């Protein structure tokens, strides 16, 4: 299992937060989770992964853990039927298990290692961020995240000017999807794919609004 070490070649974690015109030098953390049901507490989060990144696709660090099941929790039959079709991903998320208490305290410390409050990004945020939020408060007693999560589909809806129900991955422009990153239902792969997809959306939005050169100049001046 990958650890929680910074990725080589990334920018220093001490980069200052700056609002510079239309460019935000924030730390974004893309979250992906795998579960055995639709809601936290009643069902368990099987695994989760996070990619800390900048909007220029610089990967700052990664974090992932596979979790022991919650005691007394249920397993959703429909979700478990899905897992039968994904034996490789199921095996991956059921190895090297860690107790939720240990994992979430380690995750909390990892999130706090960034100089500014990290912004959670997910696709969809209503599912992934809800589980992460519940687990952080249940087992670590706090959440270092900025209070509101950023939903990739909501951003896509604004950029594409199309209905929300047609602003999810199957309907997105192919150039937004990084073909080098598999959508494997392994949390670390899916988190990375969604992080790059979000960066591509931001770049497309900047280009459409004539902000591309301005944004690059500001990033290069940091």
Does residue 102 lie within any of the structural domains? Answer: yes
Quickly tell me which residue has 């937004």 as its tokens: 176
CATH of the domain at 55: 3.30.420.10
Model confidence at 12, in pLDDT bands (50, 70, 90)? very low
Q: Is residue 189 part of a domain?
A: no
Does 193 reside within a domain?
Answer: no
Give me the phi and psi of 58, to 5 degrees please: -70, 125
Q: Which domain holds residue 85?
A: 19-150
Gap between the Cα atoms of 193 and 65, Å rounded: 18
Model pLDDT, residue 20: 41
β-strand 45-53 against 28-35: which pairing, if any? antiparallel
Q: Which residues neighbour 72 within 8 Å (Cβ) at sequence distance 6 or greater? A: none
Is the residue at 9 inside a domain? no
Q: What is the pLDDT of residue 182?
A: 82
The model's confidence at residue 212, banded by pLDDT at 50, 70 and 90, is low
pLDDT band, very low/low/confident/very high, at 101 (cuts 50, 70, 90):
very high
pLDDT score recorded for residue 193: 95
pLDDT at 216 over 80: no
Establish if 202 belongs to a structural domain.
no
Q: What is the pTM of this model?
A: 0.83
pLDDT band at 14 (very low <50, low <70, confident <90, very high): very low
How high is the pLDDT of residue 24? 57
* pLDDT for the residue numbered 18: 38
Residue 194 has pLDDT above 80, yes or no: yes
Total of domains in the chain: 1
DSSP for 149-211, written as a single string: PEEHHHHHHHHHTS-GGG-SGGGS-GGGS-TTS---S-HHHHHHHHHHHHHHHHHHHHHHTT-
Residue 126 lies in a domain: yes
When pLDDT is averaged across residues 68-81 and rounded to a whole number, the result is: 97
Residue 176's pLDDT is 92
Average pLDDT, the chain: 87
* Residue range 135-147: mean pLDDT, rounded: 97
Work out the number of other CB atoms within 10 angstroms of the CB of residue 39: 12
User: If you average pLDDT over residues 87-98, what whole number do you get?
Assistant: 98
Q: Given a cut of 70, is residue 210 above it in pLDDT?
A: yes
Residue 109 to residue 114: CA distance in whole angstroms: 9
Strands (E), the chain: 19-20, 23-24, 28-35, 45-53, 59-67, 97-98, 119-122, 150-151
């Amino acid at each position: 299992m990958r650890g929680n070490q910074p990725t080589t070649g990334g920018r220093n974690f001490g980069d200052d937060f700056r609002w510079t015109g239309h460019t935000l030098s924030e730390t974004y953390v893309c979250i992906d989770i795998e579960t055995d049901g639709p809601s936290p507490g009643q069902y368990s989060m099987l695994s989760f992964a996070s990619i800390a990144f900048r909007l220029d696709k610089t990967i700052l660090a990664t974090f992932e853990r596979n979790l022991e099941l919650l005691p007394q929790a249920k397993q959703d039959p429909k979700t478990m039927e899905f897992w039968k079709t994904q034996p490789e991903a199921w095996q991956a998320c059921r190895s090297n298990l860690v107790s939720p208490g240990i994992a979430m305290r380690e995750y909390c410390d990892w999130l706090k290692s960034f100089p500014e409050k990290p912004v959670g990004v997910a696709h969809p945020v209503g599912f992934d961020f809800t589980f992460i939020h519940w687990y952080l408060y249940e087992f670590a007693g706090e959440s270092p995240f900025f209070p509101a999560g950023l939903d990739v589909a909501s951003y896509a809806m604004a950029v594409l000017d199309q209905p929300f129900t047609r602003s999810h991955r199957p309907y997105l422009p192919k150039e937004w999807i990084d073909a080098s990153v598999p959508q494997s239902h392994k949390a670390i792969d899916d988190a990375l794919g969604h992080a790059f997809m979000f960066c591509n959306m931001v770049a497309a939005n900047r280009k459409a609004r004539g902000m591309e050169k301005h944004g690059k100049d500001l990033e290069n001046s940091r």
